Structure 1
Amino acid sequence: MSRIVAGTAGGQRIQVPPHRVRPTSDRVREALFSLLAARGVLEDAAVLDLYAGSGALGLEALSRGALTATLVERDPRACGFIQTNVRTTGLSGALVRRASVPTYLKRPTDTVDLVFVDPPYAGTEDEVDAVLGLLVPWLSPDALVVLERDSRTRTPAWPEGLEAEDPRVYGETTLHLAGPA
């Protein structure tokens, strides 16, 4: 079981689907959210959590002050777990969308301030690059994109319009960050 690390729902356990879901470890999530808090990007942020799995990243953002979090997940069973976690934590502002990420991103609705992209490690790098390209019209001028990948995978090909920062490595997990150029 995983948990919300800090904020209004800090310490609450969340359920993780038992199949094909690799949740971000509490240690990596804590480091990531410390970085985000130091930058001041969480307060009243509109968050997009892609490949949401259990919803841990989007719910952590809500717990720490984000205004809204749209959690996009293709798997219906995982969506059920996300809905349960939203109810269990009592966090408002969560919106669960059952859809494939590329399909969802082809119809931009609003701009977002923070995007978590946490695709299955087994996915191809070309798929990841395509998703990153679809993100650009969704981003507010000061948005931040956080891509979580296995440390053995190549650096993503960031599309025109996004400027990458130095990656952060936590054991087998690498966090790639980028924002509008």
Structure 2
Amino acid sequence: MAVMLSSPIVSPLGINIDMNKNLGVSYSSFPKIHAFRVCNPLCIRKSVVTVVSSRKNSGSGLASEDKKLLLERYGYDANEFASQSKKTRRKEEERNSQKQEEVIVQPRTTHRLLQVLAGTAKRKKLLSLKGMDVRPMMEVVKGAAFGILQAAGGCPTSLRPGRWLDLYSGTGSVGIEAISRGCSEAHFVEMDPWVVSNVLQPNLEHTGFVDASVIHTARVENFLERADKLVGKDGAFDYISVTPPYMEVDYEVLMDQISKSAAIGENTFIVVEYPSRTTMLDSCGCLEKMTDRRFGRTHLAIYGPKWAQKPRKS
């Protein structure tokens, strides 16, 4: 069937077809084509012709064989058309992959906003990481925790001499505060090498506590599993601070691991900072909860030996 129209035909492939062009192509092998001309006598505009194939196609649009025949009928090279489509898709994929690779990573920077609250290094400024990658213990929480520990040890002005284990140490502000207030040694456990090199180590150098410190660049879980080999000949720690990233730990699992670790003993005090809507048990191994306070959305729980417990009012 031959169709002769003065207006261009728009095919399903988006190709403008001039039907007045004599292409000299046999139509016997091509599916039947129905042409519909739509015109509006009230306005002057281009006529629109929709070309529909009578050959059945299970998918959307024309079948691949129909597309090839249609392209050849109107003087196009089907193979070249297909290769151009593949090249276009390939270029788009390469462009998208390059955009993903060009994601700019913001440099990590520090500032001095923290300070030592009391002791030999009082008021010395400490480095901390800008942003929320490392979240140090708030000063009001830290001050309350050390006040409780000092009172429990019978010396309101300083800590009982002992060894401190600072888990998830980050800036090291808790362990540094402990040394400043009387601890003989502090162990810092931090998994991020950049934080260790650019924040924790400079803070120890600035306060002069390098000789009284031991840094463990490791995950807390791994440290606790090997605590019997890492704590040294002195055995269990006298104090342990636990200040993890809130959303990255399961407190029930973490406290259970601490309770079974060689890091704690019968006379150990444990300071735990945790978020709201978190349930803390009344005991951690042989240690009992001494206090549980709230500071806004932050909570502070302290576990200690039985001899340090305040007598409860009846």
Given candidates 155, 164, 178, the residue that maps to 2:280 is 155
Higher strand share: 1
Instruction: Tell me if the contact between 2:258 and 2:264 (Cα under 8 Å) persists in the aligned partners.
Output: no
Aligned residues: 180
Tell me the residue number matched to 1:76.
193
Deviations along 1:62-89, one digit per CA (max 9) or x if unpaired, are 0000000001011111212111100001
Instruction: Tell me if the contact between 1:119 and 1:128 (Cα under 8 Å) persists in the aligned partners.
Output: no
> Which protein is bigger by CA-based radius of gyration?
2
For normalisation by structure 1, the TM-score amounts to 0.90
Unaligned runs of at least 5 residues, structure 2? 1-112, 307-314
Say whether residues 1:101 and 2:220 are aligned partners: yes
Alignment of 1:129-140 (within 5 A): 129-135=255-261, 137-140=262-265
Tell me the residue number matched to 1:53.
170
**Following superposition, which runs of at least 4 residues in structure 1 exceed 3 angstroms of deviation?**
156-160
The amino acid across from 1:101 in the alignment is V
Say whether residues 1:29 and 2:154 are aligned partners: no
| Secondary structure of 1:166 counterpart | strand
What is the alpha-carbon root mean square deviation over aligned residues?
A: 1.9
Tell me the residue number matched to 1:16.
128
Q: Structure 1: how far apart are the matches of 2:273 and 2:245?
A: 9
Deviations along 1:30-58, one digit per CA (max 9) or x if unpaired, are 11111122222823211000000100000
Unaligned runs of at least 5 residues, structure 1? none
| Secondary structure of 1:131 counterpart | helix
Deviations along 1:114-153, one digit per CA (max 9) or x if unpaired, are 0001111112324423433343x22232110111111332
For normalisation by structure 2, the TM-score amounts to 0.53
Identity %: 32
Say whether residues 1:141 and 2:266 are aligned partners: yes
Tell me the residue number matched to 1:175.
300
Instruction: Tell me if the contact between 1:70 and 1:95 (Cα under 8 Å) persists in the aligned partners.
Output: yes
| Aligned-pair CA distance for 1:4 | 0.6
Please say which of residues 46-55 and 87-96 is displaced more in the overlay: 87-96
